[in-house]
Structure formats: C-alpha cells, structure tokens
Chains A and B, each alone.
Chain A
Amino acid sequence: MDWLRANWLRIVAHIGALAPLGVIVLDNYRYNLTANPIQEIIVRTGKVALVLLVLSLACTPLNTIFGFRQALQVRRALGLYGFMYAGLHLAAFAVLDYGLDLQLIGQTIIEKYYVIAGFIAFIILVPLAVTSTRGWMARLGKRWRALHKLVYLAVPVAVLHFALLVKSLGSRPEPLLFGAVVIVLLALRIPAMRRAISNLRFKVRGAAQRSSYAPSHADKGL
C-alpha cells in the first residue's frame, strides 16, 4: 500500500502514455482509422507527442510552485514517451507517407515551413533523449542541466510546427492553446515569477492556517 502511495503517479504516467498507442493499434484492427489512415496516424502520434512534452514541462513548476514533489518522478518518463511518439510521428511521415523517398522528403523539408519546424524540434530532442540516463547525467555533470534546457526551445518549436500547418488558427485554436500553456509553463520558471507565485501561495496558505504554521516546499525558495 505504501508502495502504491509512493508510486501511483508513475503507474498513471506509464499507462496514460502507452494508452494512445494501444488505441491506434486497436483502431487499426477495427478499421477505425478514417478513410485516410496514414494521415490519421501522423496526426494522432503528433498530438500525443506534443501533449506528453508539455506535461513533462509542467512537472518542474508543479514541484517548485505547488509543492507537488511526485511530479518529478515522471518528468523524464513523460519526456521520453513524448520523444517516442515524435519518433513514430516522423517515421509515419517518412516511411508510411513518403515511402522513404529521400529526394521527395528533402524537397518537402525545404519547401514547407511546418516540416522544417517539426524536423528542428525533433533533432533538438534527440540528444536530450540520448542523455536522459543517470550515467549521462553523471558524465555531463553541470553541463547536463544546460543541455537539457534545450527542451525550452524544442517544445515551442514543436508548437510552432503545429501552428504552421493548421488551415486557419481562428477556426482551429488548438495550437494557440498549446502555445498559451507552454508560455505559462516557461514563465513559471523565471525566478521572479516563481518567487511571486510562491509567496502568494504562502500568504494564502498562511492566512488560512493562521496560527498553525507548517513549513512547505514553497518557502524554501526553490
């Protein structure tokens, strides 16, 4: 039971991250992938990748600002699953759609801004996925942190990739929603912003608790 209490979020994260892939496989056999199954697979894997990457970005602020420590347990897994779906997304595009015709793919990458953006986002994620192990963490030391800050670039570029391919943002606001969430998540990492929100939370909590003061993660100023 204690084990479950300590690890429930990990279980939820693994199941939640693998479920969309399971649904795709299931829908394949139910002939439920629309009349244009290749397109459907590309769209679904891309969206799941983006959702998981955004969730992995949410882990740190959940801990630093809201004191939800367990979020840190799943940060790496969510990022890696996001990378996995991004890889499936790219593979579906290159292999299923373009039959690995490198000339055609190259031409498309040059021609279309959204393909360039998607490609850049993926390339940035590759070294992050490779160095996500404890071994690489130890090997890189301080530089590991610096390297992994690249995710702050990769995710906005991935959102840009989404925004560039949508027919009209006014009628399809999803990329704008993703963009807004990412901006908030990045803003929460700015030290001043983080302190302000932590203090606010501390005050609210302090007022609610009045006399019974209990230290929280927030007042450690992380």
Chain B
Amino acid sequence: MRTFLIALALLVVLALVPADLTGLGLPYPGLKRYGTYILTLWLVTAIAAMGVNLIVGYAGQETLAQAAFVGIGAYLTAIAGKHGVPFGISFAASGLLTFVIGIALGFPALRVQKHYLAFVTLAFSVLCWLVFRNETAITGGVMGLRDIERPILFGLKLRNAQTFYWFVLAITAVMTFVLWWIVQSPWGRAFTALRENPLRAESLGVDVRLYTLLAFALGCAYGGMAGSLYAPLVEFIDPSPFALGPSLLFMLMVVIGGSGTFAGPFVGAGVAVLLPEWLRAWETWYLLIYAALVMIMMALFPGGIVGLARVSVRKRQP
C-alpha cells in the first residue's frame, strides 16, 4: 500500500512538472517546449531501459541490440502511420513483433554458453541497421522518414508537446506497473532465486532456459514499444539512433542506474538523457566528462546509483 501511494505521488509530480502553475498561484512557470521534449524522451528511454533491465538485471543475460528493437518499433509505427494505421494497432504490433523476434533470436542462442546471446544480438543489431539504411524504398534509407504524425486518442489530438508528454507518461505508468507485477509474481521471484542461486532454482523445478527466454523476449518487446513512442515523439527517424553504439548506451544506462533494481532504468535513463544537458556548456568536452564520470562510478560503485543510494541509506539507519 505504501509503495502504491509513493508511486501515485510520484506520478502526480511527474505529470505536473511541465505544467504552468502560475494560474494556481504557484510561482512555477513550467517547462519550455524543449524541457517537455527532453522529459518525454527520458520516459521513452526509460521504457526501453526497463526492458534491458529485465534481461540484464533479472535474467542475467546481456543484450547489445536494444536500440535495434527500438528501431523496429519506430519504423513499424512510422510506416504503418503513413498508411493510416491507428497508433494503438502499431503500438501493439511493435511489441508483438519484437517479442517474436526476441524468441527467434534467444531460442537458439540460449542453448549455448553464457555471453553468446550478447554476440548474437550484436550481429542482429548491425544487421538491422544495415536493413534500415539500405532498404530505401521502405525505410527512406539515410534520408530517413519525415513528418511522422503524433497519434490521435479518442478524437483528441496529441500534437501539443505537453499533451503528448502526458500520453507517454500514462503509457509508461502502465508499463511500469506491468513489469512490477511480473517481478513480484511467482514468475518474477523465480528470477530472483535464479540470480541468487541458479543450481538451487533448478532443483526447485524452475525451467531456467524457458524463463530466461521469455524474459529476453519481453525485454525486447519493451524496446519495440518504446520505439513505437519514439517515432511520433521525434517526428523524424533515420538509422543513426538505432545503431550498435546506442545499444551499448542502453546497457550502460541500466548498469549505471543499478541493474536488477526496479528504479535503476529510470535513474540510468535520466543520467543518459539529462546529464549531457547539464554538461552541454562544455561543448564537445561534455562527452569526455560524461565518460569519465561513468568510469569513476563503475570503479567505485559497480552496483550503480540505486545500489549506492541503498548502501548509504543502510549506513544511516543502522
């Protein structure tokens, strides 16, 4: 119950962040369009990162293709939208398609040793990028797809930056709840058992490979659905955000946030999306500073930011 209340309060705060509250007599002018955009981007990134967290933090696998799955969802939604398919259907289809691809990739790869899923996803990631770039007739190639429409919900246009933010926030909330429910379910607990002691989990009758496969596919589906939101958010897509480099960054943000913790992906996505904004004043040096912070962070607190926060909380209340 307490968790539920905290989540609700957080949701209300997040919903109010971009809004102009001066009308209510509060000295808070809200965010500019850009601020709202960045906040929306943070949520979309966090959805994809939640998927990575499920794969990395709970199932103990690695994925180097999350950006490619985001790309599949984004292209599917953009292309379907141009043919008049309603957003709801593209969104569901993005999730379903990436789930199926996840099963198809994971099933053979998980038969072999650890880390091999990572290698297969690495190849898949580059192959996807090549298809996005080369199949110009479908994807627009390097020139990308322009003028992607934002969805219309029950006749309500979501063109406005703030309305679209609330729409994405609502979806994020639902998807977060679903994931929370999964993690809390006996199914999710099996994962925790798995992570803590694989041999014991197996002896308790947990079908390790099946669970891992489903977790991987579900993680991919979160990527696909995030992509489905990314396309109308940016209103333009081209292959570059779906390359291998961005896939590595998804792994980076989950580990930095704290893999295997529920809040980790949100913190990690926040660091990845917002920190460059703070460091922007340093022009090109921001990448250096960012990377140096990541390395220091890893060297001192490999458990990530959430892990660090937990340690300091525990220290304070002995």
Partners in one complex: no
